[in-house]
Structure 1
Amino acid sequence: MESKILNLLSENARMSASEIALRAGLDAAAVEAAITDLEKRGVIRGYTAILNESELEDNKVKAIIEVKVTPSREGGFDQVARRIARYPEVIDLSLVSGGFDLLLTIEGNSLQEVASFVSAKLSTIEGVLSTSTSFMLKKYKESGRIMQSDEEYERLKVCP
C-alpha cells in the first residue's frame, strides 16, 4: 500500500487522499493515515513543485559541482557532507561513485556569487581535495517532466 501511495504522490504531490484511494483501490481514511505515518517517520520529507525556471523573472544561477573528498577517520564521507549540506546555497547533495565523491547542486543570484561560494566556502572545508563546477544553462527535463511543450521540439519539415 505504501509504495502505491508514494508512487502517486511522486507523480503529483497535490493529489488528495481520496484521489489516491480511488486510483489505488484503497480506502481514503487508510490512505490519509498512511500519509500521516509516512510523514511522521520521515519517509516523506516534504512536497515540492516542479518549476519551469525559464518562465520566472528572477532566474537564479544554478551549478553542479563535483567534489573529491578525503574521508575522515571518524565519519568517512558523512562528516564532510554534513558540513557542506549546512550551507543555504546547497540545494542537493549526494555521495556518488566514479571519479569524484560528492555531487552538489547549488544556487546563487549571479555567477560571481556561485564562484565565491566555491572559492571561499567549499574549497576551504577540511577534506575537500578538488572541485569541478558546471553551470546549468537550460533544463530539458526534471523529475520526469519535459520542461518545454512538444511544439518546441518539432523538427522543421524539409522540402526537396
Structure 2
Amino acid sequence: MRMNRQKQMELLRLLEEDSRQDVEQLAKMLAEPKEEIEKAIAALEEENIIVKYPALINWERVDDHPYVTAMIDVKVTPKRDVGFDEVAKRICRFPEVQAVYLMSGASYDLSVVLEGKTMREVASFVSQKLATIDSVVSTATHFILQRYKHDGIELEDRDEDRRMVVTP
C-alpha cells in the first residue's frame, strides 16, 4: 500500500516543522506503519522533494560570527530562448551566493541572497563578479541588519520587555 497524497503532505509538513523527529514518532502521528513512513521518506528524497534537513541557527547569538548577509536586487535583460534562466544559473555557481529567486511585480528581476565576511567583500562581489555578467543591467544591495523571523520561526523571545526602566 502506498501512502495517499494527504498523508504525504502531512508528513512533509511535520518534517519541515521538525526534521529531527524519528520515524517511529512520525508513524504514530500519521497512523501509518513505520515501514510505510520509511518508504515515503526515501521516495521523497529520491524525487528531490526533500532536499536537505537543515538546522536553523540564530547566528546573531554566536560570538565572533564574521558574516554579513546581503539581499541584492538584480535587473537583467533576458536572453532569447532562455529568458532569465541562463543568468540565474550563472549567479548560482558563485559559492558566496546562498539563494537566487526570479521575482515578479518588482522593479528588478532576480533577488540574490549573499553572505560575505564584510560589507566591503559583498561590495567587491557585486562590482567585480555580479555587475560584470552580460545581461545584468543594474543592482541594488541591501544589508540585513537584524533578523526577527526566519523560515516561520521567531529568532528572539518577543515576550520579554527589554526597555530600560526609567524612574522619576
TM-score range normalised by the length of the shorter chain:
over 0.9
Question: In the superposition, relative to structure 1, how do residues 122 and 22 fare at CA in structure 2: closer, same or farther (>3 Å)?
Answer: same
Q: Normalised by the size of structure 2, how large is the TM-score?
A: 0.88
8 Å CA contact retained: 1:53, 1:59:
no
* TM-aligned CA deviation for residue 54 of structure 1: 0.8
Report the count of equivalent residues: 160
SS of the counterpart of 1:149? coil
Letter in 1 for 2:145: L
Is 1:49 the counterpart of 2:55 in the alignment? yes
Which residue of 17, 23, 37 corresponds with 1:11? 17
* TM-aligned CA deviation for residue 15 of structure 1: 1.3
Is 1:77 the counterpart of 2:74 in the alignment? no
Is 1:132 the counterpart of 2:140 in the alignment? yes
Which residue of 145, 148, 152 corresponds with 2:156? 148
The residue aligned with 2:113 is: 105
**Structure 2: how far apart are the matches of 1:47 and 1:79?**
28
Percent identical residues:
40
**Structure 2: how far apart are the matches of 1:34 and 1:51?**
28
**Structure 1: how far apart are the matches of 2:15 and 2:80?**
39
| Structure 1 residues without counterparts, runs of 5 or longer | none
SS of the counterpart of 1:150? coil
Q: CA RMSD in A?
A: 1.9
**Structure 2: how far apart are the matches of 1:153 and 1:37?**
46
Per-residue CA deviation, residues 25-76 of structure 1 (Å, 9 max, x unaligned), is 2221111111111111111111111111111122411000111111111311
Q: Normalised by the size of structure 1, how large is the TM-score?
A: 0.92
**Structure 2: how far apart are the matches of 1:153 and 1:25?**
42
| Structure 2 residues without counterparts, runs of 5 or longer | 1-6
**Structure 2: how far apart are the matches of 1:9 and 1:31?**
11
8 Å CA contact retained: 2:66, 2:118:
no
Worse overlay, 82-91 or 68-77: 68-77
